[in-house]
Structure 1
Amino acid sequence: MQTIRLEDIPGLRVTVMGLGLNGGGLASARFFAERGAAVTVTDTKDESALAESVAALSEYDIRYVLGRHDEADFSGADLVIKNPAVRPDNPFLRAAKTVETDLSIFLRLCPARIAAVTGSKGKSTTSTALAWMLNAGGVKAFLGGNITVSPLGFLDVARPSDVVVLELSSWQLGDLKGKGALRPCVAAMTRIVPDHLDRYGTMEAYVADKRLIYADQGPTDWTVYDIDDPYGRSFASETRARALAYGSELPAGAYGVTVPEGGPCVARLPGTDDVELVPARLLVPGAHSRRNVAAAAVSAWACGADPRSIASAAATFPGIEHRLEPIRERRGVRWYNDSAATVPEAASAAVEAFEEPVVLITGGTDKQLDFQAARAAYRRAEAVVLLAGTGTDKIRAILDADSIAYRGPFGDIVTAVAEAARLARPGYVAVLSPGCTSFGMFKNEFDRGRSYKEAVAALPD
């Protein structure tokens, strides 16, 4: 489906594959039902697991097939909207005439400019900071995508002068391959590290989907890349767009922003003198957060924001939920929620973000990743508390080899938090930074983060 018009939707037979819990399937079902399509929602989860999402759609005439899929719902549909978590080689999809996603539909209908952000870790912070800076600078911006907000929800109010910031996962990008729907005016990429190898098998296949973010850009667009990352440098060499770097040092003649260990981030940009885009002091902790904010800042400039407003907005950016989120200070111990850290490198960055002694709550389900990337962080942590899971088995092997003491693994977050509270002393930091996925013990990383915050809040004063 190379084109779709709103007037084509009434009477269209639409099957939404994967209602899910995080917004995309729900928004797709609502979008098509509101516009007169005959909508079927199908999901392998049963009604009890999807009760909240089903309740949110109660006002619409939608047919549900839950706990299973029926081939007739795919072969008989004019259009199938798949959830990104559904593998593209799913046999039911082969029976469909046309397969799209909420993003591909949105991109074909949206009149606004698109700023797209991807990477392994840091893409949520970068995309949220970018939208924050644009809105602060008088450029109307919307935020959606992998951040759990489907952009279909704000399609009706987006205007040509606006910017839609889309956080895009590798799965979402893979679903857009060959559709010609994505040509962002700005494509920004955060650091690339191994992730989702349980799905992709190889790093090359994983990165190939990431490269799709700039595949259809042209010479008037901008590609923003991490110059300290070999993958970032390869992206810059491949793109047909103009390049903006961010990193420790800019090569002679290159445009972008430097990200020093201390001090402000100063940009070298076309047609202007060097300008401070990120101040020395930020509300978000950690060198990795500073790098992400710098990527957002140079992207905001590429979208038309004034450098002075960018620096002011960077100084007030509060961060986002589940990413080194400060949640409580108790008995001299500061508690942080970093549940979105689903790779070992992110857990390592969390420990390195603090000068104080760290009690690290970590572990969970494996994605066929190498936990050696967090080995130094495990050594640096003052104490390690483990959550049970297949990834934790790999972590334990490293801890045992290095004679690092640990507590657990614990099968529930409440017990793990209680143990971390027992180990923490005044002046310490306690942080949940799993470095693993959440499946098994939790619905997803957001459920894990909320459960952790509830457990910390329940600790007696």
Structure 2
Amino acid sequence: MRYLSEIKNKQITVLGLGVTGLGIVRFLVSQGLTPTVVDSRINPPGIDWLKQNTPTLTTRFGDLDSADLCASDMIIISPGLSLTIPAIAKAINAGVEVIGDVELFARINTKPVVAVTGSNGKSTVVTLAQQVLLAAGYKAALGGNIGTAVLDLLQSDLSNNDVDVYVLELSSFQLDTTTSLQPISATVLNVSEDHLDRYASYQAYIDSKLSIYNNAALVITNADDEATHSKAKSQLSFGANQGDYSLGEYQQQTYFMQANKAFLPVTSLAIVGKHNYLNALAVMALLSPFNISKTQYSTAFSQFNGLAHRCQFVAERAGVKYFNDSKATNVGATIAAIDSLATNGQQLIVIAGGDAKGADLNALTPYLQQHVKALICFGKDAKDLMALTNKSHLTNNMSEAVTLAKQLSEPGNIVLLAPACASIDMYNNYMQRGDDFIQCVMAEQP
């Protein structure tokens, strides 16, 4: 709390409203600070809350150039805003400190942090990690890029002392404004092309992810993905067939292995698929600093049924199974979904499309050729996806896509929504897109 006393007389600007911005404002006000609130939108989300709960705060909505950001001592910025926006870059060049909510959290927090980033699988890993910790008797709080904003978690802990360990999902955008976080363990699960509309190069995106290792006591790398590797002295790895935590055969079953010793059969995990087994291995490596028994792992694994919009089984209609993986917003995630559900032969009908954010889609081609019966495309970059295979079809929206999928499918097939793209061209978020898919599937007559 000493840090909050140090900045009490500083001119602090909260830049960007929405969930994160409101969380920052709530926290600062609760600690007796009075920030200025700035947003480029005239009517940003959260404005009604501000008017009702903090009517005396200075607000500046609209053109950022007129917000006089250079007059601030500190800007606490929402992750959706790029540091290269001219008004923000000008403030940085003028010596204004620009941090994110995770950095503010890191400067105040005194509890252990398990930190997770990566292109795919973050939400599953952090949620499962929290469940394991809870099963082991720890008071574990989950937040960051999933669920609750970190400062809301911190505020609750400061009031009630109800946290033993924080489990944080962190995006590259959040990491770009974070320098003080000191995780007890941290991982980059994997890296595939994403957000290239925001980063100068793919390497810049990778470097952003790798910054999570900077102050970590224990680094966890993916043995199968060189982009996640580190030169840290204290590290462990996980992988399908290699690493400190891996998959292996024991008594004619596939097991989760620790240092080449059988730990638990993969059947102890309620969710299936190779990518989920790798997620479980990552959890085991991340939680190695904690005292967790085999029984506690088994209990948590058996009770974890996965997350909505992440290879979520929707229904079986007329002998065809439908899966919603709307969270597959990049190529790597779509490949993982196809790989997880693929059987012998081309039984998959994949629905994809949206905003590819400048990513190279060509890595999908061999998976489409080997496992996919038809690729149904819609959205902003549909034509780029169609060019990957001669098995592609163009539609205008989700309803048309699901209707066509039903027409093309036969008993034994799987229809998979795995867009490989962001949803922002047609939806508010990937959850809304997934819900639309589910509604269309359930509206179809068997």
Q: TM-score normalised by the shorter chain: which range applies?
A: 0.7 to 0.9
**Which string of whole-angstrom CA distances, capped at 9 and with x for unpartnered residues, describes residues 409-438 of structure 1?**
32x323322322333333332221011122
Shift in Å, 1:123: 1.6
Q: Secondary structure at the match of 2:438?
A: helix
* Counterpart position of 2:246: 258
Question: What is the deviation of 1:119?
Answer: 1.3
Q: Percent identity of the aligned residues?
A: 30
Once residues 209 and 460 of structure 1 are traced to their aligned partners in structure 2, the CA distance between those partners, rounded to angstroms, is 47
Aligned with residue 47 of structure 2, among 49, 54, 62: 54
> Which residue, 387, 391, 402 being the options, matches 2:378?
387
Q: Tell me what 2:368 maps to.
A: 378
One-letter code aligned to 2:219: T
- 1:397-412 mapped onto 2 (5 Å cutoff): 397-399=387-389, 403-404=390-391, 406-410=392-396, 412=397
* Distance of 1:118 and 1:278 partners within structure 2: 26
Q: Could you say if the C-alpha distance between residues 124 and 433 of structure 1 is closer, same or farther in structure 2, counting changes exceeding 3 Å?
A: same
Cα 1:374–1:56 shift into 2, 3 Å:
farther
Q: Secondary structure at the match of 2:295?
A: helix
Conserved 8 A contact 1:4-1:105: no
Deviation at 1:4, TM superposition (A): 5.9
Write the distance in 2 (CA, Å) between the matches of 1:287 and 1:458.
31
TM-score (norm 2): 0.88
Question: 2:352 is matched with which residue: 359, 362, 365?
Answer: 362
Match in the other structure for 1:133: 132
CA contact (8 A) 1:364 1:389 kept: yes
CA distance in 2, matches of 1:432, 1:7: 50
User: Does the residue aligned with 1:5 lie in a helix, a strand or coil?
Assistant: helix
Query: Which sits farther off after the overlay, 445-454 or 319-328?
Result: 445-454
Distance 1:67 1:332, change over 3 A: farther
Distance (Å, rounded) in 1 between the aligned partners of 2:58 and 2:406: 48
Give the letter aligned to residue 324 of structure 2: N
- Cα RMSD after superposing both structures: 2.6
Q: In the alignment, which residue of structure 2 is the partner of 1:168?
A: 170
Gap change, CA 1:358 and 1:77, over 3 Å in 2: same
State the Cα distance separating 1:206 from its structure 2 match.
1.5
Could you say which residue in structure 1 is the equivalent of 2:31? Answer: 35
Q: Deviations over 1:161-205 (max 9, x none)?
A: 7111111112211211xx3x1111101221222222222232221
Q: 1:293 aligns with which of 280, 292, 296?
A: 280
Q: By how many angstroms is 1:277 displaced?
A: 4.6
Paired amino acid for 1:326: F
- Is 1:225 the equivalent of 2:221? yes
AA aligned opposite 2:398: I
2:411 matched to 1:441?
Answer: no
Instruction: Tell me which residue corresponds to 1:239.
Output: 232
Aligned to 2:149: 150
Shift of 1:12: 5.6
Compared CA separation, residues 245 and 420, structure 1 to 2 (3 A): same
Judge conservation of contact 1:139–1:163 (CA < 8 Å) in 2: yes
In structure 2, relative to structure 1, the CA distance for the partners of 1:432 and 1:41 (3 Å cut) is farther
Q: Does 1:424 align with 2:422?
A: no
Distance 2:114 2:224 in 1: 22
Between the aligned partners of 2:402 and 2:40, the Cα distance in structure 1 is: 33
Counterpart selection for 2:331 from 312, 319, 344: 344
Are positions 1:113 and 2:112 aligned together? Answer: yes
Aligned position for 1:308:
295
Query: Aligned partners of 1:458 and 1:7: how far apart in 2?
Result: 57
Provide the secondary structure at the position in 2 that maps to 1:438. coil
Q: Please, which runs of 5 or more residues in structure 2 have no aligned partner? A: none
CA distance in 1, matches of 2:367, 2:70: 51
Is the Cα–Cα contact under 8 Å of residues 42 and 68 in structure 1 kept in the other structure? no
CA distance in structure 2 between the partners assigned to 1:115 and 1:419 by the alignment: 44
Residue 100 (structure 2) aligns with: 101
**5+ residue gaps, structure 1:** none
Match of 1:85 among 77, 80, 87: 80
Q: Aligned partners of 1:460 and 1:162: how far apart in 2?
A: 50
- Matches of 2:34 and 2:163, distance apart in 1: 33
Q: Alignment length, in residue pairs? A: 430
1:347 is paired with a residue whose SS is helix
Deviation of 1:260 after TM superposition, in Å, equals 4.0
- 1:193 corresponds in structure 2 to 192
The answer on whether the counterparts of 1:182 and 1:216 sit within 8 Å (CA) in structure 2 is yes
Shift of 1:407: 2.6
Query: Cα deviation per residue 1:272-294 (whole Å; 9 max; x = unaligned)?
Result: xx351563353323211211121
Between the aligned partners of 1:285 and 1:46, the Cα distance in structure 2 is: 46
Pairing 1:17–2:24 present: no
Q: TM-score, normalised by structure 1?
A: 0.85
